[in-house]
Structure 1
Amino acid sequence: MWKIAIIDDDRQVLAGMRRGIPWNELDAEVAGEALNGADGLDMIRRVRPDVIITDIYMPVMNGLDMISELRSQEFEGKIIILSGYSDFEYARQALRLDVSDYLSKPISVPTFKSVLAKALQDLSSEDIRRAREDEMMHKLMLYEPFVEKEWVKAALTGTLDPTYRRDELLPSPYLYWADTSHMVMGIELDRCARASSLTVADWNLFRFAVSNIVHEVVRERFASFEYTELHGMRSAVVLHADPGAAADRLAGLIGELGATLKTCVWNYLKLKLRIGFGAWKASWLDIPDSTEEAFRSLDGKGLVPSREQQWNMMRPVKFYQELASAIKTSQETRAKQLVTDYTRQLQEQSGDTPEYARMLASELWGVIAYCLYDVGMLLDDLFPNRELSREMSALGGLEQLAAWLTEKITVICRSREWGGSSKHRQAVDFMVQYIHEHYDEDITLSELADKVFISRNYLSNIFRNMTGETFNTYLTRVRMEKAKELLLERKMLVYEVADRVGYKNVPYFSTLFKKFTGMNPTELANG
């Protein structure tokens, strides 16, 4: 119900308005009355009306002064002046104070009703607009972490738009980059038999586990860093240090960091990491150079020889990021041109052997597979693995590789399964991140549906299509992986682990744990 306040120094006018306004028709009520502007201010602050009807000439404080004070306090309601004086100067001042209407006494009931109805309709429209703006802001806040992650990835790989490569345009969370030095640590999961056998859905869980381990280990040694996932089985950490930090101390931290990460990932996940480091850079604009150096070091190729050579060659990390971006957005021509340019440069600068072409085909296919998974598209539905392996093994050189990739890009970008899922992927990404951060709480699909503004049933279908699992199965898998980590640490009893991952019923937890891991939690806890 709308609240209307009336302010006039004539009691008869007040009584007349109380009787004459069709309150029920307008779905409104009298919120308060006052006989002058000063009392009116006190009353308005107390009852917070939606509409104010006020005279101008009143004792103590006139209507215009009262309105001016209200506007200075950011009162957003509607104000209607009902005055016995039709003075142009008053009307001009009222217009400047954003008054909804200026009426002269006496006024007929139908006219007064029409003016009030319009003011209330305007308020209703503004409420709807504000609600939509609030909803949009809420969505932006939900998706802000993903926007920030993409910015970090672009800054790290060298794909950041040149317009934003200036200190004053650094996003607020990264303003400190302008005052620190930077080094990139490249991380790659070793392509052992176990890692190669993982499905994309399984790898998504391992990727989360690796991320957690990296964050914990790096945080013990560096106060400032960012972790970002790249293409395929690769990720990177940007480390930051004070420009005056001792070089030998930093070298010691870096060596210890690499060794500890490899040990922890092997102990907890039974997976091997390969790690490479770039050189420290004084400017954040040179972080992409450190990225390339890190992965060249990881590949055993050493540092990029010179600045001139860096800019004369297509840098692999940048190329992979640009190719992934083009394919994710279905830019077929752009993706093909990137492949053509890159393979041509490789022919000019590297040896062109069948073995190298096949190795590169496997690497690039991993990039494409994971970037498409990010937008909810599984390549297994388009290309059988057995056929892919046969085609890769038949590649005789870089020229054949380029032709093979071009053909695959055409099929992918023109596939009927493509289109419309990238927006849904944002919602699923948020859900996955929320699950990983709140797995120990009582999470429901309905709760997350409210957060991403998608109906529960529709969201359930989207999640299952993009992850290959139902929401509840995925949540349980995350909880079991975390429980496995805790049990391997052997610092907690089984019932404590169950409680830590969101289960009060220990027998039920044990049943689920055996279903997902193949062993009883007591077996793992007792070693």
Structure 2
Amino acid sequence: MLKAAVFDDEYIVLQGLREMIDWSSFGIELVGTADNGLSALELFRAHRPKLIFTDIRMPGMDGLQLIEEIMREAPETLCIVFSGFNEFEYVKRAINLGVADYLEKPITIPTIEQAIRKVLDKISQEQEVLELKTKVKSSQGDLLVKATFDLLFLGEEAEEKWREIYGSGAESIIGVTVLATESDQLRMLEQTDFTAIPLRHGQERLFVCVHAQQPTPEFWEKLQLDSEQADISVGSGRTYTELKDAAHSYKEALRALRSAHFLGEKGIVRFEDLGDLITRPEGLSEREEAIILSLRSGNKTGMLEQIDRYIAWIQMEKLDSEVAEHEMLKLLYLALEEAKRSSGDKASRIAETYRPHVELREMAARGKVTEWFRSQLDMLIDNTMYAREHARHASVTRARNYMELNYTRDVTLQEVAEHVGMNPTYFSVLFKEEVGESYIKYVTRIRMELAKTLLSRGLKVNDVSEKVGYHTYRHFSEVFKKYTGCTPGQYKDQLANPAGI
């Protein structure tokens, strides 16, 4: 059985969790409790429990200091912390320490049981990965897959073994980027400048790209076109120069993929382009975060679905009415702040007279809290989308003018987004909605039409490649053939001999 321990300086909390949780039904043995940090550390060292439940504020040694010590001695330990509503700075530190979950006080039996189920699911997933590793065959390819999994989950500890299995080519590697998708349609062909190692982890399809040179704009452009043509979303982590940092790129790729789903974006979504779209408001649960991210990205359908799930969770957990109302108010005020950021003056005017805590009491007396809560969030996202709609046309028009002035050089999405004062990923979504095609496809179409015109005037292919903004002839030729069905040279021949004589 898994071992667990509970640490809290409140007797009623320790007694309640000891007596009211059926630990054995979860396959867990509660090995002890402690009411201060020093005793807690002694108990941990004596029993080495896999699961730790601890309050943040305790005498002797606070919960965060305790977790730091535990993670130094046994980093595989899973820690769940209890936190007061106003302790967001503590929660932020706890997240940085890698806690498995955090619960706001007052804690309830259902929330504890839910946290237990969540952490057990995590353990189960880790065991699945370990089982996968034990089943891999001893072929070179399978050994590399296993070593790459180790690199993603263990980092520096697994780097030497990975280099040994990869072989002599490891010496030329100067960077690593991880891509994540949920589709089997993405194909990454090996190139001279990078190698893509495909992995599967649950529903995730991963590509660990090890680079012999820094990824060029052509690398990202080709990936964007390939993923758009396959009508799939791909999240990309940042490119790191150290192999041991592949784990960071992996986590970033998953977050980028998740944001792509919120945005409804197809193609490649890069972590470094997301900006505040993935800045997680402090102290939020995953349910609350999903609502805020949907509001932030203007995804009304997704937000309404998340609201219904949130309300269903409150009803299923049978939360105390005061606790439920407190959680709803917190979420409403956070949503209002997000709306003010997106909608500007309109949301600010609403905020001047908006008193949800007063309305909530009235709705509670009438038994209409959930309907009112849903309508308030609906109103806030409508205001956000209204502002977004009015800003979209002007911003995209400015962007198109800028692109048409600069498409003869390598003008990036990042550069154009900065020109109109927008987050790159958010701009990418707006551009596609307004123009009907992605930024990459739009720029490619303009360049290829110009290339056809220049070729028809007799210019050399290399000169045309430079004039339409491509660094290499090879990449220009590949894109031109994909766009027209023939190479630039063949196109020139057709113009010179239209009858094929």
Fold shared, TM-score > 0.5 on shorter chain:
no
TM normalised by structure 2 equals 0.27
**Which structure ranks higher in relative contact order (CA pairs < 8 Å, sequence separation ≥ 6)?**
1
Structure number with larger C-alpha Rg: 1
